[in-house]
Amino acid sequence: MKRKSELVKMGKNCFIGENVKFYGSVEIGDNAYIEDNVVIGKPNEDEIKSFLENRTQHKSIDYFINEKVIIGNNCKIRYGTIIHSGVTVGYDLDCFNNVLIGTKTKIGDNARIGDYSQIYNDVIIGDNVRFKGYAANRCVIGNNVAMLGYLVHKFRENIRGIIEPSPVVMDDAIIGMLSIVVGNVRIGRGAYVAAGAVVLKNVGDKEMVGGIPAKLIRKL
């Protein structure tokens, strides 16, 4: 069974699995492959609140979702993935199982997103990125990045009521498996963060760092 809003526009030659749910305005390009139990256009907290306060005016929540989802041509979205409202994705996305993509996130062309990855709100991801891990709100990831760790804030924003600067990863950088980049940190172009490192300060262009806390190993 599929839930499909009348606001959904589907391209040519698309495959849609079982129990796929579409909310609000969604535009999907040609040759899309979407597996079972995927949700696209999931409303954010503000949209749900507006619906609950005004639902006598419309029976469907679709009319309270203000942010359109756009998914480019030749995209694969696998089992159990949830894509929130306002997400924009380029062409040739390959998104694996049970991924979360938060509202207003923008993902470039030819991205690969690994199983169980979590990408939160307003994240910007460039072209040709390989991502498996976690990105907090408003992180920026450049082109040709391998991101296999965690980009996090120092504090939980919803508890402290503050807006923190988020990590920025520049083009061609590698964030090693299970490494953690914390807070207002810039990872330079072509930098390499070793697996398991904890990065608390900026990493320069073409620098390799590792350890806890991360320290310079050598220039690349």
Average pLDDT, the chain: 92
Give phi and psi for 218, each to the nearest 5: -170, 165
Q: What are the distances in angstroms from CA 219 to CA 54, 148, 199?
A: 58, 21, 16
Q: Which domain covers residue 187, as residue numbers? A: 157-220
Give the pLDDT confidence of 38-80 residue by residue, as tens digits: 999 999 888 888 888 887 666 678 777 888 999 999 999 999 9
User: Residue 7 falls within a domain, yes or no?
Assistant: yes
Q: State whether 17 and 104 are in the same domain.
A: yes
For residues 175 and 191, what is the distance between their CA atoms, to the nearest angstrom?
8
Q: State whether 128 and 162 are in the same domain.
A: no
Average pLDDT over residues 192-207: 98
pLDDT at 62: 77
Average pLDDT over residues 117-134: 98
Q: State whether 109 and 41 are in the same domain.
A: yes
Average pLDDT over residues 4-25: 89
Give the pLDDT confidence of 126-144 residue by residue, as tens digits: 999 999 999 999 999 999 9
Q: State whether 180 and 108 are in the same domain.
A: no
Query: Is residue 33 pLDDT above 90, yes or no?
Result: yes
Residue 112's beta-bridge partner residues? 94, 130
Q: State whether 43 and 114 are in the same domain.
A: yes
Burial of 157 (0-12, 13-18, 19+ CB in 10 A): middle
pLDDT at 171: 98
DSSP one-letter code for 125: E
The answer to whether the beta carbons of residues 32 and 77 sit under 8 Å apart is yes
CATH number, position 163: 2.160.10.10
Q: State whether 206 and 102 are in the same domain.
A: no
Give the pLDDT confidence of 58-69 residue by residue, as tens digits: 667 877 788 899
Q: State whether 110 and 180 are in the same domain.
A: no
For residues 2 and 8, what is the distance between their CA atoms, to the nearest angstrom?
12
Classify strands 215-219 and 207-210 as parallel, antiparallel or unpaired.
Answer: antiparallel
Domain count, the chain: 2
For residues 82 and 128, what is the distance between their CA atoms, to the nearest angstrom?
21
User: Residue 119 falls within a domain, yes or no?
Assistant: yes
More confident residue, 162 or 186: 186
User: Residue 149 falls within a domain, yes or no?
Assistant: no
